[in-house]
């Protein structure tokens, strides 16, 4: 069999292909994104798509499963907050074809606003949870996940973490096995989720979980590795790899791949074989709590914190008290805070907003969240996808009730507008909130790596798709005045903001310029250069927060290897010392 070096995400995509999946839908979100970026290579035998949001992706995947084919949806951990509604109902109603939901958790919040542990969702939704620990298991567990889904009539969560998703290891490939397409027939008692039907379904859900727990005690996903009788470790996912590295050679392991429901009797048997039992798991002590509740003595979170990503050095220190050796380099590393890219179209908008007195700016999830950072300092809040509009509406009403005069702007990107911003826009109109909604349209889902969305004109498989115009949606919702402006034209951007604030009609703003990283757009402009004889060293150019602009020997200088010629720095220079080479 052919072997390849693959990331966990690549392996999950391959596993879906080999398992005979026919339908795949997702919304991009780190660390899950690359799963779906690796699916179009198999589009001859399956359909893959970007959905407007995770709820839609889950509903579409469930619809495909009801229609009788194997389906896949994927999202980052906070995406499951959006998708929970259909998932909880799907577990009650059951399936026709198999369905797998990939939840990619992000311990240590490398690119997220929290580090929630989505094993809780598997427990609450009463579905199976599988946790691979390397790329080979990522591929292999997909086949098991679909078999479990169909055998126990439930969606299955495949939970990964950032390290599992992005680390690479050798994977032995297999052939695609075409799954049986189950005939569809109307079954209202099963798939129409009325309270009466749900009451009949719940006992079957509980029976399925009991049967699944019995299966978990005797399945290849959960295995004992008996090496000695002194110490035993129950662990799963990437924690297994770390624990194997730090515990002595004679340590025995119970390596769990199916973690919900927990195979309690298998754990009890394993515990009887060792003198001391550890439970090593990342984030919350979910397994430990259940093991202790079953009357099995163990130790875990009294040693290992429930916060942040694990690694071998941290585990060794927390469990054995052995601090890692460190070498003092003798110098302090220079801080490298994240910043908007050179040429980012959002820079002109946030620079303009930073100059507006009494402006309250409710932001959202995206590249533009960096508008909060110095020197722009132009964002008041960022909660979750879509809250840029909705939270702004609530703040505006609060200011109105308390007599505070504020200009409230709700800000989100084009992809986020389609994800969950349209309902916030409806909230502003319906409840007459004094908010100016702003859609930062850079023609792509930029933060997660340049994925298409309903406003770009292309789909995941690379085909031309219907392009939904944001301005048409805003007008249909009820905004009488929609101002479209190039945010890198600072005079025009300032006028757009002033016109919106002074308008007597409901007004929205769309800032429209493609992302500077968008490959299908020609960004070949001349670089900006500084006439150092004219430069007075006022440092006004630094206020735009562009990484290409710096001060050397008291005067401005531009790194031409970074500059894309957007001219925002030139527009703020009071003495016109900056120009573009081709102008």
Per-residue b/e over 186-205, b at no fewer than 16 CB within 10 Å? eeeebbeeeeeeeeebeeeb
pLDDT tens string, the chain, 583 residues long: the values are 799 999 999 999 999 999 999 999 999 999 999 999 999 999 999 999 999 999 999 999 999 999 999 999 999 999 999 999 999 999 999 999 999 999 999 999 998 999 999 999 999 999 999 999 999 999 999 999 999 999 999 999 999 999 999 999 999 999 999 999 999 999 999 999 999 999 999 999 999 999 999 999 999 999 999 999 999 999 999 999 999 999 999 999 999 999 999 999 999 999 999 999 999 999 999 999 999 999 999 999 999 999 999 999 999 999 999 888 888 888 888 888 888 999 999 999 999 999 999 999 999 999 999 999 999 999 999 999 999 999 999 999 999 999 999 999 999 999 999 999 999 999 999 999 999 999 999 999 998 999 999 999 999 998 999 999 999 999 999 999 999 999 999 999 999 999 999 999 999 999 999 998 887 777 667 899 999 999 999 999 999 999 999 999 999 999 999 999 999 999 999 999 999 987 6
Domains and CATH numbers, the chain: 3-216 (3.40.50.970), 223-320 (3.40.50.920), 346-512 (3.40.50.970), 528-580 (3.30.70.20)
C-alpha 193/C-alpha 176 separation (Å) is 34
Q: How many CB atoms lie within 10 A of CB 160?
A: 33
Give the per-residue pLDDT at 583: 67
- Give the per-residue pLDDT at 185: 93
Task: Kindly state the helix (H) or strand (E) to which residue 139 belongs, with its residue range.
Answer: helix 135-152
Q: Is the pTM of this model over 0.95?
A: no
Continuous H helices in 153-236: 162-166, 188-191, 195-216
Decide if 21 contacts 150 (C-beta within 8 A).
no
Q: Is there a contact between 455 and 412 (Cβ–Cβ < 8 Å)?
A: no
CA quadruple 559, 560, 566, 567: dihedral, nearest 10: 70
Check residue 324 and give its pLDDT: 85
**Residue the block writes with tokens 């070949």:** 524
């Amino acid at each position: 069999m052919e072997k390849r070096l693959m990331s966990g995400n690549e392996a999950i995509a391959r596993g879906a292909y080999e398992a005979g999946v026919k339908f795949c839908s997702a919304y991009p979100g780190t660390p899950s994104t690359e799963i779906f970026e690796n699916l179009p290579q198999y589009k001859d035998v399956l359909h893959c798509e970007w959905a407007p949001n995770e709820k839609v992706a889950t509903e579409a995947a469930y619809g495909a499963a009801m229609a009788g084919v194997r389906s896949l949806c994927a999202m980052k951990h906070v995406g499951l907050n959006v998708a929970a509604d259909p998932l909880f109902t799907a577990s009650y109603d059951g399936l026709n074809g198999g369905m797998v939901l990939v939840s990619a958790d992000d311990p240590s919040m490398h690119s997220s606003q929290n580090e929630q542990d989505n094993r809780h969702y598997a427990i609450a939704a009463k579905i199976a949870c599988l946790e691979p620990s390397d790329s080979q298991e990522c591929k292999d567990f997909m086949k098991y996940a679909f078999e479990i889904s169909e055998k126990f009539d439930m969606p299955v969560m495949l939970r990964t973490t950032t390290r599992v998703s992005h680390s690479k290891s050798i994977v032995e490939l297999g052939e695609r096995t075409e799954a049986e397409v189950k005939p569809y027939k109307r079954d209202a008692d099963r798939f129409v989720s009325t309270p009466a039907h749900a009451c009949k379904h719940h006992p079957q859900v509980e029976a399925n979980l009991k049967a699944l727990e019995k299966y978990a005690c005797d399945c290849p996903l959960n295995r004992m590795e008996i090496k000695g009788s002194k110490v035993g470790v129950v662990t799963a996912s990437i924690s297994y790899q770390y624990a194997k590295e730090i515990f002595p050679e004679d340590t025995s392991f119970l390596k769990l791949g199916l973690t919900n429901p927990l195979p309690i009797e298998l754990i009890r048997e394993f515990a009887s074989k060792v003198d001391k039992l550890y439970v090593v798991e990342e984030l919350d002590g979910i397994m430990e709590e259940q093991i202790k509740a079953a009357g099995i003595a163990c130790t875990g979170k009294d040693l290992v914190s429930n916060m942040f990503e694990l690694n071998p050095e941290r585990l060794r220190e927390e469990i054995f008290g052995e601090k890692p050796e460190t070498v003092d380099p003798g110098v302090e590393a220079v801080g490298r805070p994240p910043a908007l890219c050179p040429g980012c179209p959002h820079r002109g908008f946030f620079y303009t907003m930073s100059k507006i007195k009494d402006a309250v700016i409710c932001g959202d999830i995206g590249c533009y969240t960096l508008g909060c950072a110095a020197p722009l300092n132009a964002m008041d809040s960022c909660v979750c996808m879509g809250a840029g509009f909705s939270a702004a509406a609530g703040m505006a009403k609060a200011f109105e009730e308390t007599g505070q005069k504020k200009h409230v702007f709700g800000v989100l990107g084009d992809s986020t507008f389609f994800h969950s911003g349209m309902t916030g826009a409806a909230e502003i109109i319906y409840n007459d909130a004094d908010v100016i909604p702003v859609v930062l349209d850079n023609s792509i889902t930029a933060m997660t790596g340049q994925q298409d969305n309903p406003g770009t004109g292309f789909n995941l498989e690379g085909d031309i798709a219907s392009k939904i115009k944001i301005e048409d949606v805003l007008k249909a919702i009820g905004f009488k005045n929609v101002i479209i402006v190039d945010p890198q034209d600072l005079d025009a951007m300032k006028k757009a903001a002033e016109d919106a604030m002074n308008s007597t009609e409901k007004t929205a703003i769309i800032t429209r310029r493609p992302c500077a990283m968008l490959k299908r757009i020609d960004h070949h402009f001349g670089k900006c250069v500084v006439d150092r004889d004219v430069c007075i060293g006022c440092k006004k150019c630094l206020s735009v927060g562009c990484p290409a602009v710096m001060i050397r020997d008291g005067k401005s200088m531009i790194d031409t290897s970074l500059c894309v010629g957007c001219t925002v720095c030139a527009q703020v220079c009071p003495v016109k010392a900056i120009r573009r080479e081709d102008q």
